[in-house]
Chain A
Amino acid sequence: MVGTPRHATALSLHWPQQERRIMANPAPASEDLAPPPSLFKLGSVLFWIGVFSFGGGLSGWIHRQVVHRHRWMTNDDFLSGIALAQIVPGANVTNLCVYVGYRIRGALGATMSLFALMSGPTVLCVFVAIGYHYVQDYPVLHACVDGVAAAAVGLNIRLGVVGTQRIHRMKRIAPMIAMVATFVSVGVMEWPLVPVVLIIAPLSVAAVWPRKGASHA
């Protein structure tokens, strides 16, 4: 036990302190964004997100790293990327990744981000598939995997909470109704997504469309 406290402090001071610094400034305003990173730095951040995203929750991870940790993007910018990523066809995570890379370092940044994020998982998922045969009979491992995957869903729910807080700050009723209506129709009722979005989107946009002569109210 004599030797352990040294190691324990070294470890516990290193990570949490870094974390504390990150979270001291929860989400940057547009004027205190960090300067754009090099392509290599951007790629390496997304590469590690890909590698460690066991069980999913990637959008939550990207938000944490890109907005909170590195201050490369504002919360608002990121959240508008979420909407775009969901509405444009394709996997939400890769679309989000393209948007984030593009906003930070242009078209090259988008390319770099996409390849960096996907290269790790592409190789790793094949190894997992190969290994799966050997471990599928161990219930403890199944429990670990199910537990991690369930917790990872929480990372994305957290992102939904961040979005809801932003809608609340808009101080308008229409966006909140649009959010709840989308959630209830697609999530709870399991109605097909495309018609639901085609109906709610125009109504939601029309409700906040700037009116001539009228101020926001």
Chain B
Amino acid sequence: MREDSSLSPYLALMSVFVPLSLVAIGGGPSIFAPIQKEAVDVQHWMSAREFIEIFAVARVAPGPGSMLGTLIGWKVAGWGGAIVATLALFLPSSLLCLGVSTVWNRYRGREWHAALEMGLAPIGTGLMFSGAIAIFRMADAGPLAWGLAVFVAAMLTWRPRMHPFALLGVGALVFNLELYLAHSGLFR
């Protein structure tokens, strides 16, 4: 199925994911589009439909959304491919982050360090909120999902003792209730 057969599948996976790892500024979702282009149009690893299915699985499975890369590796070359793709996607950026953390830590306590932190922290918070919106946009979520997420955040803010599992369970229940109501509406 692969057109580009000059490279072993492991090398092909690395050649796609290592560069993307280092340009994923703002997080995994920023490289989902280029990953799709590579996997479907350039390397012909899978059809567009298969990609969408993998995307759905990555969202459901434990771990960050970028487990998408792991699943592509698995499709291409089995378990070995899954491991190679995971390392190729996460190791380069992690090494870079370790380097930045080391330097960042070295100057802790300086006046300019505190100013940098005070200036950058709000951007991190703004991006955190933006990330929540981006996830819902990608998943094409309805008002129920939005309301649920805000409800969970509010509960955790006002009742921090609440265990997140309880709230995740509420989420599953609410969506099933909606499913049930939609169905019973059809039969009426």
Say if the beta carbon of A36 comes within 8 Å of chain B.
no
Say if the beta carbon of B25 comes within 8 Å of chain A.
yes
Q: Per-residue CB proximity of B103-114 to A under 8 Å, as 1/0?
A: 011000001101
Q: Is the Cβ of A89 less than 8 Å from the Cβ of B131? A: no
Instruction: Give bound CA distance, A54 to B129, whole Å.
Output: 20
Q: Is the Cβ of A114 less than 8 Å from the Cβ of B63? A: no
Q: Per-residue CB proximity of B1-20 to A under 8 Å, as 1/0?
A: 00000000000000000000
Instruction: Give bound CA distance, A121 to B62, whole Å.
Output: 5
Say if the beta carbon of A72 comes within 8 Å of chain B.
no
In the complex formed, the residue of A with least CB distance to B86 is: A122
Say if the beta carbon of A116 comes within 8 Å of chain B.
no
Instruction: Give bound CA distance, A104 to B149, whole Å.
Output: 30
The dominant DSSP class at the A interface is helix
Shortest beta-carbon distance from B172 to chain A in Å? 4
Chain B residues, CB < 8 A from A45: none
Chain A residues, CB < 8 A from B77: none
From the candidates A82, A158, A172, A179, name the one contacting B157 in the complex (CB within 8 A).
A158
Most chain B CB neighbours (cut-off 10 Å) among A16, A179, A197? A179
Chain A residues, CB < 8 A from B170: 147, 151
Q: Is the Cβ of A181 less than 8 Å from the Cβ of B120? A: no
Chain B residues, CB < 8 A from A50: 62-63
Chain A residues, CB < 8 A from B161: 16, 19-20, 23
Say if the beta carbon of A34 comes within 8 Å of chain B.
no
Instruction: Give bound CA distance, A190 to B40, whole Å.
Output: 25
Say if the beta carbon of A1 comes within 8 Å of chain B.
no
Interface residues of A (CB under 8 A from B): 15-16, 19-20, 23, 26, 50-61, 64, 68, 79-80, 82-95, 98-99, 102-103, 107, 110, 114, 118, 120-122, 124-126, 128-129, 132, 139-140, 143-161, 163-164, 166-167, 170, 172, 174-176, 178-183, 186-188, 190, 193-194, 197, 200-201, 204-210
Closest 4 CB pairs of A and B: A90-B93, A121-B63, A154-B152, A182-B126
- A and B contact pairs by CB, cutoff 8 A, 27 listed: A50-B62, A56-B65, A59-B128, A80-B120, A86-B128, A87-B25, A89-B24, A98-B94, A102-B98, A121-B67, A132-B53, A139-B179, A149-B171, A150-B148, A153-B135, A154-B148, A154-B152, A154-B153, A155-B156, A160-B129, A163-B121, A182-B123, A187-B131, A194-B26, A197-B26, A200-B123, A205-B115
